[in-house]
Structure 1
Amino acid sequence: MLLLVTGATGKVGQVLLGRILSDPRWAETRIRAICHNRTLPPHARVESIRGSIADRDTVEAAMAGVTHVIHMATVKEDPQQAMDVSVKGMFWLLEAFRSSTTAEQFMLIGGDCSVGHISVAYDEPITETSPRRPYPGVYALSKVLEEVMLEQYYIQYDINGCCLRAPWIMEKDDFRYALSFGADQFGGPAWTEVISTEEQARYAGEGRVPLLIDSAGQPLRRSFIHVTDLVEAMLAALDNPAARQQLFNIAMNRPLDYGTVAAHLERSRGLHSVRIETPFHSNWLDNSKARHALNWEPAHDAISLVDAAFAYQRAADDPRKVWYVG
């Protein structure tokens, strides 16, 4: 297997490469990575190609002899780059894939922003057949366009592909900082959108954690996935006939409940919460299809996700880097 990976230097890519390179089941797998702004450490089974996937020549050179593609490269709210990477880049990848004599499977890692995650209300759990209802912004639009483009290549060219749609991906101490009222907050919501700067400063000084409340007045429920669980789902789908031309939601079995989290942190760590009213909607990204078809099961639930984040101790050579805010 010669696996082409885009986004290999990111949060998910680094874990994926480490997992493949250390697992005897994938001992014969070679990896080729398209790297744009960052580099990978040298490894006998890893080849790096410098360039952008928005460049057709770069993509065609990278696709030479490739059997499998995992496409993760993405950008956030940057209209120029989002269209270059998510539309033009994916188009060149798919064009090279469909015309290749060696290509066997194309895997896209999507995001739940294509269904609006907590910004859009759903009356039932969000499944793979739920309508795509992205929130405003170019990033959410780009993830919808990726999913639709892949589906059109199934229809037009009958390629073997799949899409794994993930919610907010957590690793190491991410969730601890997602609960911070300080300047080190990771992700959202931006506190200035829901509370005053004075309140934020006071809560930070008091060491509070947020108990987010949804639009219905109940503790917010939101889907997450730990990076290691996502990687295991990717490996479960890789070269799996059950994944052919399928879309899978990859999330924890149940959404994280901020009320449960607040109670657990007070009980286990003595951290007091503060109620934060938000306009967001509680949603449930249903992972039943992936569990059934791929025989995959996430190892993390809400409590283990929180405990892992608060217990994580960074080494001196492991500084916290946030490439994207969420």
Structure 2
Amino acid sequence: MKILVTGATGKVGRAFLTAFLDDDRYASAKVVALCHNRGLDAGDRVEVVSGSLSDPQAVAHAMDGVTHVLHMAAVKESPDLVIDVAIKGMFLLLEAARQSSTLKQFVLISGDCTVGHIFKEYSAPINEVSPRKAYSGCYALTKVLEEVMIEQYQIQYGLNGTVLRAPWIMEKDDFKYALSFGEEQFGGPAWSDLIGADKAMRLARGDFVPLMRDRTGASLKRNFVHVDDLVMALMAVLDHAGAMQELFNIAMDEPVDYAQVAEYLARTRDMEAVEIPTPFHSNWLDNTKARHALGWRPQVDFEEMIERAWAYERSPSDPRKIWYPG
């Protein structure tokens, strides 16, 4: 096996490489990492190719002799990069894959931005045949286009593609800072947009937890997945016959309920809930298909995610650095 990994320096990429290289099943496997802005240390089993996804020569070099592709690289809200990197890059990878004599599987990591996250309403749990409803912005648009592109390559050329659609991915102390009212807040929504900058600043000085309400007034339910569970799903789909040309939602068994989070943090850490009305929708990303077809089970529920986030202690060599806001 020779697997090309794009986005290898991100949170999912690094976690996957650790799990993959430590797995005895892949002791003889090689990894090619196509890196552009951030570097990665090469090794006996890891080859680093420097270049952009928009560069046909770099992609061709990286794809040489590859049996599997794991495509995770993405650009966020960067309109100047979207076409060249996200769309052209995906096209170049797919073209190289369909013409390859060695390729066995192409795995794409997508996101729940393709189904609107908390910005679009669904009357039932969101499964793999629910309509795509991207929220505003170029990032969500690129993810919809990527899903459609790999789907069409499967139809047109018989490509063995697998898509894992993940919601907001948590690692280390991410969840703690996703709930923070301070300047170190990770991801959105920006509290200043909902409650004003002055109130957010006051709350940041105390032990408060946001209890967001959806547009119906019920506590907001929002989808998450821990990086460890996503990596388990990635390992599960490699060469899995049931993953051929399939799309899977990879999420926690239930969405995170902000009322339950607030109650748990009040009980375990004496934090006080702050009610925040929002225009958002509560949605449920249904993972039934992945559990049934892959035998995959998420291990981290919201309580475990809280405990891991609050227990995590960063060393000086592991500063909190957010490459993308969410």
TM-score of the pair, normalised by structure 2:
0.99
Cα RMSD of the aligned pairs, angstroms, is 0.7
Looking at structure 1, the residues matched to 246 and 132 of structure 2 have their Cα atoms a distance apart, in angstroms, of: 15
Question: Is 1:2 paired with 2:2?
Answer: yes
2:71–2:109 CA contact under 8 A, matched in 1: yes
2:41–2:48 CA contact under 8 A, matched in 1: no
Residue in structure 1 matched with residue 89 of structure 2 by the alignment:
89
Residue in structure 2 matched with residue 56 of structure 1 by the alignment:
56
Question: Is 1:319 paired with 2:319?
Answer: yes
Q: What letter corresponds to residue 238 of structure 2 in structure 1?
A: L
How many residue pairs get aligned? The number is 326
User: Deviation string for 1:213-269 (max 9, x for gaps)?
Assistant: 111101100110000100000010011111000000000000000000000001001
The within-5 A match list for 1:20-59 is 20-59=20-59
TM-aligned CA deviation for residue 178 of structure 1: 0.4
The within-5 A match list for 1:131-150 is 131-150=131-150
Residue in structure 2 matched with residue 198 of structure 1 by the alignment:
198
Q: Which moved more, 1:103-112 or 1:188-197?
A: 188-197
Residue in structure 2 matched with residue 100 of structure 1 by the alignment:
100
1:86–1:145 CA contact under 8 A, matched in 2: no
Indicate the SS of the match to 2:309.
helix
Residue in structure 2 matched with residue 272 of structure 1 by the alignment:
272
Looking at structure 1, the residues matched to 37 and 45 of structure 2 have their Cα atoms a distance apart, in angstroms, of: 21
1:67–1:102 CA contact under 8 A, matched in 2: yes
Q: What letter corresponds to residue 97 of structure 1 in structure 2?
A: A
The within-5 A match list for 1:206-245 is 206-245=206-245
2:221–2:256 CA contact under 8 A, matched in 1: yes
User: Deviation string for 1:147-197 (max 9, x for gaps)?
Assistant: 000000011101101100000000000000001111000000011221111
Indicate the SS of the match to 1:194.
helix
Residue in structure 2 matched with residue 180 of structure 1 by the alignment:
180
> 5+ residue gaps in structure 1?
none
Looking at structure 2, the residues matched to 57 and 202 of structure 1 have their Cα atoms a distance apart, in angstroms, of: 53
TM-aligned CA deviation for residue 7 of structure 1: 0.3
Q: Which moved more, 1:202-211 or 1:273-282?
A: 202-211
Looking at structure 1, the residues matched to 60 and 43 of structure 2 have their Cα atoms a distance apart, in angstroms, of: 23
User: Deviation string for 1:67-119 (max 9, x for gaps)?
Assistant: 00000000100012122222100000000000010011000000000000100
TM-aligned CA deviation for residue 44 of structure 1: 1.0
Looking at structure 1, the residues matched to 287 and 46 of structure 2 have their Cα atoms a distance apart, in angstroms, of: 32
Residue in structure 1 matched with residue 71 of structure 2 by the alignment:
71
Looking at structure 1, the residues matched to 249 and 295 of structure 2 have their Cα atoms a distance apart, in angstroms, of: 13
Residue in structure 2 matched with residue 118 of structure 1 by the alignment:
118
Looking at structure 1, the residues matched to 97 and 38 of structure 2 have their Cα atoms a distance apart, in angstroms, of: 24
Looking at structure 2, the residues matched to 296 and 289 of structure 1 have their Cα atoms a distance apart, in angstroms, of: 10
2:180–2:204 CA contact under 8 A, matched in 1: yes
Q: What letter corresponds to residue 100 of structure 1 in structure 2?
A: S
Looking at structure 1, the residues matched to 252 and 37 of structure 2 have their Cα atoms a distance apart, in angstroms, of: 31
Determine what percentage of the aligned residue pairs are the same residue. Answer: 57
TM-aligned CA deviation for residue 271 of structure 1: 1.0
Indicate the SS of the match to 1:33.
strand
User: Deviation string for 1:47-69 (max 9, x for gaps)?
Assistant: 00000011111111111100000
Residue in structure 2 matched with residue 258 of structure 1 by the alignment:
258
Question: Is 1:128 paired with 2:128?
Answer: yes
Indicate the SS of the match to 1:108.
strand
Indicate the SS of the match to 1:34.
strand
Q: What letter corresponds to residue 303 of structure 1 in structure 2?
A: E
Indicate the SS of the match to 1:315.
coil
Q: What letter corresponds to residue 237 of structure 1 in structure 2?
A: V
Runs of 4+ in 1 over 4 A off after TM superposition: none
Q: What letter corresponds to residue 37 of structure 1 in structure 2?
A: N
Q: Which moved more, 1:302-311 or 1:250-259?
A: 302-311
Looking at structure 2, the residues matched to 27 and 215 of structure 1 have their Cα atoms a distance apart, in angstroms, of: 51
